[in-house]
Structure 1
Amino acid sequence: MTLRLGDTAPDFEQDSSIGKLHFYEWAGEAWVVLFSHPADFTPVCTTELGLTAKLKPEFDRRNVKAIALSVDAASSHKAWIDDIEHTQHTVVGFPIIADEDRKVSALYDMIHPEASATATVRALFVIDPAKKVRLMITYPMSTGRNFDEVLRVIDALQLTDKYTVATPGNWKQGDDVIIPLSVQDPQVLAQKYPKGFTAERPYLRLTPQPGK
Structure 2
Amino acid sequence: MAFETNDYQKMNSMPYVGEQAPHFNANSTQGNISLDDYKGKWFILFAHPSDFDPVSTSEFVALQVASSKLRELNVEVVGISVDNITSHVAWLNSIEETFDTQIEFPLIADLNKQISTDYGMLSKESNGSETSRVIFIIDEDSVVRSVIDYPATIGRNINEILRVIKALKTTDKTEHVTPANWETEDKILAPSPSIIKDAKNRMENPDYECKNWYYCEKDSDDHSKSIYNAFLQDK
> TM-score over 0.5 for the alignment?
yes
Q: What are the within-5 Å matches in structure 2 for residues 87-102 of structure 1?
A: 87-102=98-113
For each residue in 1:83-109, what CA deviation from the matched residue of structure 2 results, as whole angstroms up to 9, or x when unmatched?
A: 112233322110000001001100100
1:167 alignment counterpart:
178
For each residue in 1:5-47, what CA deviation from the matched residue of structure 2 results, as whole angstroms up to 9, or x when unmatched?
A: 100001111111112222222x132101001111111111111
- Aligned match for 2:26, one of 4, 10, 14: 14
Q: What are the within-5 Å matches in structure 2 for residues 3-152 of structure 1?
A: 3-25=15-37, 27-152=38-163
Moved over 4 A (4+): 183-190
Secondary structure at the aligned position of 1:206 is classed as strand
Indicate the percent of aligned positions where both proteins have the same amino acid: 34
CA contact (8 A) 1:50 1:85 kept: no
- Counterpart Cα distance in 1 of 2:53 and 2:221: 43
* TM-score of the superposed pair, with normalisation by structure 2: 0.83
User: What is the RMSD computed on CA atoms of the aligned residues?
Assistant: 2.0
- Counterpart Cα distance in 2 of 1:21 and 1:41: 23
Deviation of 1:166 (Å): 0.4
2:209 alignment counterpart:
198
Which structure: greater helix fraction?
2
Secondary structure at the aligned position of 1:113 is classed as coil
Deviation of 1:152 (Å): 0.2
Secondary structure at the aligned position of 1:142 is classed as coil
The amino acid that maps onto 1:67 is V
* TM-score of the superposed pair, with normalisation by structure 1: 0.91
Number of residue pairs matched? 208
Change (3 A) 1:74 1:120: same
Change (3 A) 1:114 1:91: closer
**Structure 1, unpaired ranges of 5+:** none
- Counterpart Cα distance in 2 of 1:124 and 1:67: 10
1:178 alignment counterpart:
189
CA contact (8 A) 2:39 2:141 kept: no
1:209 alignment counterpart:
220
2:14 alignment counterpart:
2
**Structure 2, unpaired ranges of 5+:** 1-12, 226-235
CA contact (8 A) 1:47 1:88 kept: no
Deviation of 1:189 (Å): 5.3
- Counterpart Cα distance in 2 of 1:31 and 1:180: 24
CA contact (8 A) 1:17 1:75 kept: no
Q: Which moved more, 1:177-186 or 1:149-158?
A: 177-186
Deviation of 1:115 (Å): 4.3
Secondary structure at the aligned position of 1:15 is classed as strand
